[in-house]
C-alpha cells in the first residue's frame, strides 16, 4: 500500500507541475508567438498500456496515418476558427493525422458535430478555447437525453486517436457565474462523446469546463490515459457539477493515470454503464468514484455492472467510494435535480485499494438519494437492487463531518441489497473510530463497527 500511495502521489505532483499552467499563462497562450509560429511537426502517437489491471477488451491498435493536415487559425483569440477545424478534419478523415499547431491559439464559437470521424489521429499541441457566448451555446449546443446534459461538440465515429499535450479550455468562469443566478442554465460539457468506438484520448490538459469534463455516451472500447483536469472558479460562485467523467449507455471504457481537481464526482457511472476499469487516479475536491445516481426516472431500467476501481488516491472529498440510488418516491435534491421511482440493478462492483485523505465518508451506499426523510424512504423502498459489491483495502482518515462514522450502508429494504462486502477497511475518523450506519445489510460482512446514526445524505 505504501508503494502505491507514494507512486500515485509522485505521479500527481509531476503531472501538476508539468501541465498546470497559471491562469495568466493560459490567457496569453499563443499571443507571444504571433507572427513567429513554431515549426510544424506531428506528435508521436502515445503507446498506451493498461496496467496493472487489464480491461475486458484490449485497446484498439491502429496503423500509422500517412496524410497530415495542419489546422489553420486566425490566432487572434476573437475570430471563430470552426471552419478551419472542420476543413482539416474532413480532409484528413479516413487515414490522416490532423495537427492543431504548437504555439497557436484556436477559438471555437460554433457547435460542431464530429460524429463522422473514422480512422484519424487528432494531434492537439495547442491551446483551444470555447467562446463565452452563453446565449449562443444554450441555444445551439448538443442535447443528450440524460438530465440536462449538453455539449459544445459531439465526438463520435471509429478509431479516433486524440493526444498531443495541448490544452482545451471551456471558458467556465462565465458559466459558474451564470449558474449562480440561474440554476436552469444549460451548461455544456467540455468533451461530449456520442457513439465513439475503438478509440483513445490521452495526454491532454482540460481546464474550466462549464459542467462535466467528459460525458461518455453510447460508446465502446475507449481508453482515457494521462488526462489532467482542473478549473476552480475565480469568483465567489463555485464551479458546480464539474464531474471528471460520466459514463452513460457505454461499455468497455478505461480511465487511468490521471489527475483530477474538481468539484463533483471524480468519475460517475450513470445508467447502463458496463465493463469499466478505473485505475491509478489522483482525485482532489471531488464527490468520489460514484455509481449513479440511478433510478431517477419512472419506467427506466438502469444497469451498472462489472466495474473495477483500483488504486485511487482521494483527497478533500465528500466521498471515497459511493453508490447513490433514488428511492421509490418523488424526491428533490435541488430545483434542477429531482426524481425517483426508477428500477434496475447494480451488480459486480469492486473498489480495491483506495487512499482516504480528509474525506467525509470513505464508503457511502445510499438508496435514499435526494430524500433526507428516512421514514419516507423506507416506506417506499427502491426497486433497484444492489448486489455483489466489494470494498477492500481502504486506508486513511476521514474528516470530522460525520464522526464517529466513517461510512454508511443505507439500503431501503432487506431485499434491495445483497452480498455487500467490506474488508481490510483501515480507515479511522479523527477521534479514532470506524463506526458506520448500517441499514438492511448483512453486518457480518462489513469490516466496520455498525451502529451509527442516519445523518441524511446529499
Which residues have C-beta within 8 Å of that of residue 48, sequence separation ≥ 6?
59, 200, 202, 223, 225
Burial of 239 (0-12, 13-18, 19+ CB in 10 A): buried
Q: What is the DSSP letter of 43?
A: P
Torsion angle, CA of 77/83/87/93, rounded to 10 degrees? 90
Of the candidates 276, 224, 223, 279, which has an alpha carbon nearest to the alpha carbon of residue 251? 276
Interatomic CA distance for residues 351 and 314, integer angstroms:
12
Interatomic CA distance for residues 310 and 52, integer angstroms:
9
**Do 276 and 245 touch, CB atoms closer than 8 A?**
no
H or E segment and range at residue 99:
strand 96-100
Active site residues: 287
> At 218, is the secondary structure helix, strand, or coil?
coil
Amino acid at each position: 500500500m505504501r508503494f502505491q500511495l507514494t507512486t500515485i502521489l509522485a505521479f500527481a505532483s509531476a503531472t501538476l507541475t508539468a501541465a498546470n499552467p497559471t491562469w495568466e499563462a493560459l490567457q496569453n497562450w499563443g499571443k507571444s508567438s504571433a507572427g513567429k509560429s513554431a515549426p510544424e511537426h506531428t506528435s508521436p502517437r502515445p503507446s498506451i498500456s493498461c496496467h496493472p489491471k487489464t480491461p475486458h477488451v484490449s485497446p484498439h491498435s491502429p496503423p500509422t496515418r500517412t496524410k497530415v493536415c495542419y489546422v489553420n487559425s486566425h490566432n487572434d483569440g476573437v475570430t471563430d476558427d470552426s471552419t478551419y477545424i472542420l476543413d482539416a478534419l474532413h480532409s484528413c478523415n479516413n487515414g490522416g493525422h490532423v495537427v492543431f499547431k504548437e504555439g497557436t491559439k484556436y477559438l471555437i464559437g460554433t457547435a460542431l458535430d464530429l460524429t463522422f470521424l473514422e480512422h484519424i489521429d487528432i494531434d492537439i499541441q495547442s491551446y483551444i478555447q470555447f467562446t463565452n457566448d452563453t446565449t449562443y451555446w444554450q441555444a445551439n449546443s448538443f442535447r443528450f437525453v440524460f438530465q440536462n446534459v449538453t455539449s459544445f461538440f459531439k465526438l463520435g465515429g471509429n478509431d479516433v486517436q486524440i493526444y498531443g499535450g495541448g490544452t482545451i479550455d471551456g471558458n467556465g468562469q462565465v458559466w459558474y457565474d451564470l449558474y449562480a443566478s440561474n440554476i436552469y442554465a444549460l451548461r455544456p460539457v467540455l468533451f461530449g462523446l456520442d457513439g465513439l468506438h475503438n478509440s483513445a484520448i490521452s495526454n491532454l490538459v482540460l481546464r474550466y469546463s462549464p459542467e462535466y469534463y467528459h460525458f461518455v455516451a453510447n460508446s465502446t472500447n475507449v481508453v482515457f490515459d494521462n488526462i489532467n483536469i482542473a478549473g476552480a472558479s475565480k469568483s465567489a460562485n463555485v464551479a458546480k457539477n464539474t464531474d471528471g467523467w460520466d459514463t452513460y449507455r457505454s461499455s468497455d471504457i478505461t480511465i487511468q493515470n490521471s489527475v483530477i481537481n474538481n468539484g463533483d464526482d471524480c468519475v460517475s457511472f450513470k445508467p447502463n454503464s458496463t465493463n469499466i476499469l478505473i485505475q491509478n487516479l489522483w482525485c482532489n475536491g471531488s464527490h468520489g468514484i460514484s455509481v449513479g445516481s440511478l433510478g431517477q426516472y419512472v419506467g427506466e431500467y438502469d444497469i451498472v455492472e462489472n466495474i473495477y476501481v483500483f488504486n485511487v488516491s482521494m483527497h478533500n472529498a465528500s466521498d471515497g467510494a459511493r453508490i447513490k440510488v433514488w428511492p421509490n418516491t418523488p424526491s428533490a435534491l435541488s430545483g434542477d435535480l429531482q426524481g425517483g421511482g426508477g428500477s434496475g440493478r447494480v451488480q459486480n462492483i469492486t473498489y480495491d485499494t483506495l487512499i482516504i485523505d480528509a474525506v467525509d465518508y470513505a464508503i457511502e451506499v445510499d438508496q435514499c438519494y435526494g430524500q433526507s426523510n428516512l421514514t419516507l424512504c423506507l416506506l417506499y423502498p427502491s426497486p433497484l437492487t444492489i448486489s455483489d459489491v466489494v470494498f477492500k483495502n481502504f486506508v486513511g482518515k476521514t474528516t470530522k463531518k460525520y464522526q464517529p462514522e466513517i461510512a454508511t450502508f443505507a439500503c431501503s429494504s432487506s431485499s434491495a441489497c445483497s452480498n455487500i462486502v467490506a474488508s481490510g477497511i483501515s480507515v479511522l475518523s479523527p477521534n479514532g473510530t470506524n463506526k458506520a450506519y448500517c441499514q438492511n445489510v448483512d453486518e457480518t460482512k462489513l469490516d466496520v463497527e455498525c451502529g451509527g446514526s442516519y445523518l441524511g445524505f446529499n
